[in-house]
Amino acid sequence: MTLMDAIRQRRSIRKFEDRPISAEHVQTLEERITKINEKTGLHIQLITDRPEAFKSFLAHYGGFRNAANYIALVGKDTGALDEACGYYGEDLVLFAQTIGLSTCWVGGTFSKKKAFYEAKEGEKLCLIIAIGYAAEKKEAHKSKKPEQVMEVEGEAPQWFMDGVRAALLAPTAINQQKFTFILKEDGSVEAKAGKGPFSQVDLGIVIYHFEIGSGRSLSEDGNN
């Protein structure tokens, strides 16, 4: 499965099978997490067999069942943390999809007090990603049209449209899709976040999707 396949197939799963993640999958995930942490300075952690974070009223309200494993997105408490967690967290979400695991971004519907993770001095927990084997099948959410989330003079090139369409398949907080991709005259792309809960996390997520769909890196253009 390619990452583009994973983008098309991914769904936000809240009901998981009551079984642990296999040792092979744990090792594969931890290897990818280690590479991301070494590259970025983030302190992302895979937490397994610790259901406490989901044993709260908020988690019950969120509809979680058999949620006992999660990826804790931790890093230095700077203005760039939320976007970085969105970008690299979505890398892990799509990677998990390619190896047969399902996920769900979790912002407000878990207990931070009961969550198990390590935060060094100057670090904080941004949010978590529930992960495991899906026990439900879900349809895709309704999505905005590309024209609602893009700004371009004239006709947009195919690579740009492919990127925007991939971004519209990204998970965003309460499916708000409050972001805009702007194609500039010099061919570079700027991504802007709208206002709303976890909007900077969402921005990182949709940028990752845009890059996969378009085959172009926004960071190389100096726009991210």
For every residue of 177-201, DSSP letters joined together read --EEEEE-TTS-EEEEE-SSTTHHH
Same domain, 168 and 128: no
Residue 44 maps to which CATH number? 3.40.109.10
Domain membership flag for residue 55: yes
pLDDT, tens digit (0-9, with 9 covering 90-100), for 183-192: 998 999 999 9
Domain membership flag for residue 139: no
Same domain, 182 and 90: no
Domain membership flag for residue 223: no
Same domain, 37 and 127: yes
Same domain, 14 and 122: yes
Same domain, 125 and 195: no
pLDDT, tens digit (0-9, with 9 covering 90-100), for 116-172: 999 999 999 999 999 999 999 988 888 999 999 999 988 999 999 999 999 999 999
Domain membership flag for residue 141: no
Final residue belonging to a domain, choices 80, 100, 132:
132
Same domain, 122 and 151: no
Domain membership flag for residue 73: yes
How many structural domains comprise the chain? 2
Same domain, 28 and 98: yes
Domain membership flag for residue 140: no
Confidence at residue 108, expressed as pLDDT on a 0 to 100 scale: 80
Q: Helix or strand or coil: residue 30?
A: helix
pLDDT, tens digit (0-9, with 9 covering 90-100), for 60-116: 666 899 999 999 999 999 999 999 999 999 999 999 999 999 999 998 888 888 899
pTM above 0.75, yes or no: yes
Final residue belonging to a domain, choices 76, 110, 132:
132
Same domain, 112 and 154: no
Same domain, 87 and 39: yes
* Domain region containing 155: 146-217
Same domain, 125 and 44: yes
CB 146 within 8 A of CB 168: yes
How far, in Å, are 10, 66, 88, 206 from residue 209 at the CA level?
12, 28, 11, 5
